[in-house]
């Protein structure tokens, strides 16, 4: 069994909580390190095992991630899988000097967003992916490397995205040696048919490459798109506690699909998550206390969680 399949078993659904990274990108106030530690402790006690917890970016630009190394150590003490974003050479170099379990890097599906987000072309971004893989493979801890293809379903700067461009980028990143490819609906343009079609296109081109999906709920389609992704065979899905999140370089981007609602969706579709919903929803108290000006979303927290039983097992 490879390390990838140990961390992301292909026969089960894995839900990754990205609230401590994507969820904090655009907030005015952010949790203290102690509050982040409690966030992680309580979510891990609820059964969450995969987290994206910060970025290796200059603290001056993103002070909310200045404690990323401390948070990685906390994840290690809790025996949960940590992932962190690295957008440049310096970030990747810093990342491999920590025990982070996974480095996430990004290639934009459009030139316009690539320039706005990272000030580099798509080809330069793909080259950086290759360098990140080399750094990871040559390090003592050998973290996994995932590339997220931003704006894969539509771009708020360029408009429509050609699926062939996404497939080409995915193929180039697979050739560079990434462990997983993420398809990101960065600004919530996608619908369920588009999700299924793009997943099918990538699978047809790349075969058994590991895929994940990262969804935003900008237009209220996050949960239905997650359902379509599950039907298309995706088994790794990102979500954010209370739907926090957004992209500062993507006009119109709002929060991620609500993690609590995502857990409920999976359970109702017969995919066991191992996550206790009541315990999970209690973590919202931390977000509310630490970031009182942020709006918290979620249908399940609003309506309450019924007692869950196993309708089907997949």
Question: What span, in angstroms and rounded, lies between the C-alpha atoms of 99 and 122?
Answer: 29
Distance (Å, whole) CA 244 – CA 162: 28
The confidence score (pLDDT) of residue 3 equals 87
Query: Residue range 50-62: average pLDDT?
Result: 94
Of 18-22, 255-259, 304-308, give the lowest mean pLDDT range: 304-308
pLDDT tens for 271-303 read: 999 999 999 999 999 999 999 999 999 998 888
Give me the active site residues, please.
247
Token pair 């360098």: residue: 131
pLDDT for res 28: 86
pLDDT category of residue 26 using cuts at 50, 70 and 90: confident
* Low-confidence winner among 24-38, 63-77, 111-125, 196-210 (lowest mean pLDDT): 111-125
Buried b (16+ CB within 10 A) or exposed e, 262-298: bbbbbbeeebebebbbeebbebbebbeebbeebebbb
Q: pTM for the whole thing? A: 0.94
Q: Does the pLDDT at position 5 exceed 60?
A: yes
Cα-Cα-Cα-Cα dihedral sign, residues 49, 287, 57, 181:
positive
- pLDDT of 311 strictly over 70: no
């Amino acid at each position: 069994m490879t390390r990838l399949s140990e961390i992301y078993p292909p026969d089960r659904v894995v839900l990754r909580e990205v609230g401590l990274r994507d969820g904090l990108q655009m907030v005015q106030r952010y949790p203290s390190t102690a509050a982040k530690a409690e966030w992680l402790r309580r979510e891990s006690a609820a059964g969450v095992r995969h987290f994206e917890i910060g970025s290796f970016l200059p603290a001056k630009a993103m002070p909310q991630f200045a404690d990323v190394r401390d948070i990685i150590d906390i994840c290690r003490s809790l025996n949960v899988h940590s992932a962190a974003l690295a957008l440049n050479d310096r970030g990747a170099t810093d990342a491999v000097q920590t025990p982070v379990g996974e480095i996430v890097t990004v290639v934009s599906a459009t030139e316009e967003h690539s320039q706005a987000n990272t000030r580099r072309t798509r080809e330069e971004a793909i080259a950086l992916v290759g360098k990140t893989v080399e750094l990871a493979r040559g390090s003592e801890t050998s973290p996994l490397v995932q590339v997220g293809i931003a704006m894969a379903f539509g771009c708020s700067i360029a408009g429509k995205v050609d699926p062939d461009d996404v497939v080409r980028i995915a193929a180039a990143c697979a050739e560079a040696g990434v462990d997983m490819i993420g398809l990101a609906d960065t600004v919530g343009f996608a619908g369920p048919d588009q999700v299924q079609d793009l997943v099918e296109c990538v699978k047809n081109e790349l075969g058994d490459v590991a895929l994940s999906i990262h969804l935003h709920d900008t237009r209220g389609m996050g949960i239905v798109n997650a359902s379509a992704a599950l039907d298309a065979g995706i088994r790794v899905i990102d979500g954010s506690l209370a739907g926090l999140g957004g992209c500062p370089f993507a006009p119109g981007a709002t929060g991620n699909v609500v993690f609590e609602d995502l857990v409920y969706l999976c359970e109702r579709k017969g995919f066991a998550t191992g996550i206790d919903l009541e315990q999970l929803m209690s973590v919202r108290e931390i977000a509310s206390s630490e970031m009182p000006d942020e709006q918290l979303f979620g249908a399940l927290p609003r309506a309450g969680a019924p007692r869950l039983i196993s309708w089907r097992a997949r």
